[in-house]
Amino acid sequence: MNELPEFVCWLDPGLHTGWATLFHGEAFDCGEGILPEIGELLEDYAGVYQGNMALGWEQYIVTSTGSRTGSAGPPIEVIGMARWLGYKYQCQMLKPVPSAMRTVVTTRHMRKLGWYAPGMDHAQQATRHLAAWMLRENLFTPQQKTIVFGEEECQTLAIE
């Protein structure tokens, strides 16, 4: 198992940005907000956990024909703001990942973790990214992996 940063925040950027945080691998929180709220939230967290915070977000792709869906403005603005705050407060910048990376984590998994947030779709997407990152980086404890994913699913997903 790798070492989990003291504080982790994952974003699902958009007009309504979802966020999911984890403190010391135990205290989970999530929510949604618009750009000014997300900026204030991130700056508050980054100021407290300066140098001990990891920050990640869903990759947003803008093609020659426009964005994937809707206006590219809000997601790009959120990502730019997050990057700037991450640099300002010496956050560990996590590699942006495509939206498909979160699909390995289902609602059932989030419920077992106690991380399910009904009615907050964007927060749930950020939560899926947080949990999928923890899987990729081998940051769940063996007990968490077994409880959440079960022995058989751990083998199917090639989780150690």
2 lies in some domain: no
Average pLDDT along the chain? 88
Range(s) of the domain holding residue 109: 7-156
Is the CB of residue 28 less than 8 Å from the CB of residue 20? yes
52 lies in some domain: yes
Q: How far apart are CA 5 and CA 74, in angstroms?
A: 28
What would the pLDDT profile of 50-73 be if each residue is shown by its tens digit? Answer: 999 999 998 887 766 655 555 677
CATH number of 92's domain: 3.30.420.10
pLDDT for the residue 155: 62
Rounded to an integer, the average pLDDT of 84-106 is 89
Categorize the per-residue pLDDT at 159 as very low, low, confident or very high, splitting at 50, 70 and 90: low
Pull the structure tokens for residue 15: 């007009």
Give the position of tokens 């790798």: 2
SS (H, E, C) the chain: CCCCCCEEEEEECCCCEEEEEEECCCEEEEEEECHHHHHHHHHHHHHHCCCCEEEEEECCCEECCEECCCCCHHHHHHHHHHHHHHHHCCCEECCCECHHHHHHCCHHHHHHHCCCCCCCHHHHHHHHHHHHHHHHCCCCCHHHHHHHHHHHHHHHCCCC
What would the pLDDT profile of 22-57 be if each residue is shown by its tens digit? Answer: 999 889 999 999 999 999 999 999 999 999 999 999
Pull the structure tokens for residue 44: 């508050």
Categorize the per-residue pLDDT at 129 as very low, low, confident or very high, splitting at 50, 70 and 90: very high
137 lies in some domain: yes
1 lies in some domain: no
The structure's pTM equals 0.87
Task: Return the higher-pLDDT residue of 42 and 4.
Answer: 42
In the chain, how many domains are there? 1
58 lies in some domain: yes
- pLDDT above 70 as % of the chain: 89
Strands of 7-12's sheet, edge to edge? Answer: 27-33, 17-23, 7-12, 53-57, 92-93
